[in-house]
Amino acid sequence: MLNYLKLEYQKFGKNTVVTMLLFMYMAFLPALIFLGKTVPTIPGLMASNNLFFEFPTVWQWMGYSGNWLVFFCLGYVAVHIITSEVSNKTFRQSIINGQSRTEFFVGKCVALLALCVGATMYYAIVTSLIGLIATEAPDLQMILDGGPYILRFFIMCLGYLSFAMLIGLVIRSSGIAILLYWSYVLFIEPFIRWVVHREIALDESILYYPMNIVEDLLPMPFFEFASAIPSEVNFDFLIDPNLAIGLTLALTAIFVSLAYWNMLAKDM
């Protein structure tokens, strides 16, 4: 595994695009949370802006910020390290030099797994620091209570990056691949959900679209608050977190399998 990581670092460790996107993730993750200071309080839902920064709710808000950043920044990285290998012909050269397609694929999976681990560790550290600073009389247990959110963050990273890898291997053109990746999550899937469910808007099946499942691992916390408010809507706004974990892991396995099959089936 270390050899795979070393090889991928040699390829992309000094890549300008990758470096810029990783810097954006690291800079914006702690910065975005402070936009909470500008949010007005909402009676019945939010007593004060402190919930953005204090334990335990800081885990939710930082996770939601990270949800967007992983999708935009790290998903772009996943697409880039695949498509650039094709456009620069290093994929072909690696095979000519004796590396099998399976070894090439495993190297990419190991690199993306390391990216997920690094992003999750950064989320855990930054969130813990903000919570410790902002919370009155914090203790170790408040940090440990973030364990479920840290797990959900890691699995969310797996979901986004495995989907991005699949798009990159199928499309192979960097610009088109990243446009399709972003467009599917932001526009195509929501549009499909609207078309299919506009006549059955209260049907729970609207929740079970691939990227919506991944998003519901760490959604907008207000949705969780709203789900607890009695109403005539006969289903929750969000998928149960434990179910979302299981479904995202299943989707990740499907995306990785499809990506591997596609790589074996296509010419170099």
pLDDT of residue 228 exceeding 60, the answer is no
Instruction: Return mean pLDDT, the chain.
Output: 87
pLDDT at 52 over 90: no
Q: What is the pLDDT of residue 126?
A: 96
Tokens for 32, please give them. 């975005």
Q: 201 or 211, which is more confident?
A: 211
> Could you write out the three-class secondary structure of the chain?
CHHHHHHHHHHHCCCHHHHHHHHHHHHHHHHHHHHHHHCCCECCCECCHHHHCCCCHHHHHHHHHHHHHHHHHHHHHHHHHHHHHHHCCHHHHHHHCCCCHHHHHHHHHHHHHHHHHHHHHHHHHHHHHHHHHHCCCCCHHHHHCCHHHHHHHHHHHHHHHHHHHHHHHHHCCHHHHHHHHHHHHHHHHHHHHHHHHCCCCCCHHHHCCHHHHHHCCCCCHHHHHHHCCCCCCCCCCCCCHHHHHHHHHHHHHHHHHHHHHHHHHCCC
For the chain, give every domain's residue range. 2-265
Least confident of 32-41, 177-186, 242-251: 32-41
For residues 183, 170, 213 and 26, what is the CA-based torsion angle, rounded to 10 degrees? Answer: -70
Poorest-pLDDT segment among 36-50, 108-122, 136-150: 36-50
Q: For residue 237, what pLDDT band results from cuts at 50, 70 and 90?
A: confident
At residue 95's C-alpha, the angle toward residues 93 and 100, to 5°, is: 155
pLDDT digits (tens, 9 = 90+) for 55-91: 988 999 999 999 999 999 999 999 999 999 888 888 7
CB 78 within 8 A of CB 165: yes
**HEC-encoded secondary structure of 106-162:** HHHHHHHHHHHHHHHHHHHHHHHHHHHHHCCCCCHHHHHCCHHHHHHHHHHHHHHHH
Taking the CA atoms of 34, 70, 83 and 211 in sequence, report the sign of the dihedral they define.
Answer: negative
Residue 245 pLDDT greater than 60, yes or no: yes
Is residue 145 over pLDDT 60? yes
Q: Which residue has the higher pLDDT, 101 or 34?
A: 101
In terms of Cβ atoms closer than 10 Å to its own Cβ (0-12, 13-18, 19+), residue 265 is exposed
Looking at the chain, the whole-number percentage of residues with pLDDT higher than 70 is 87
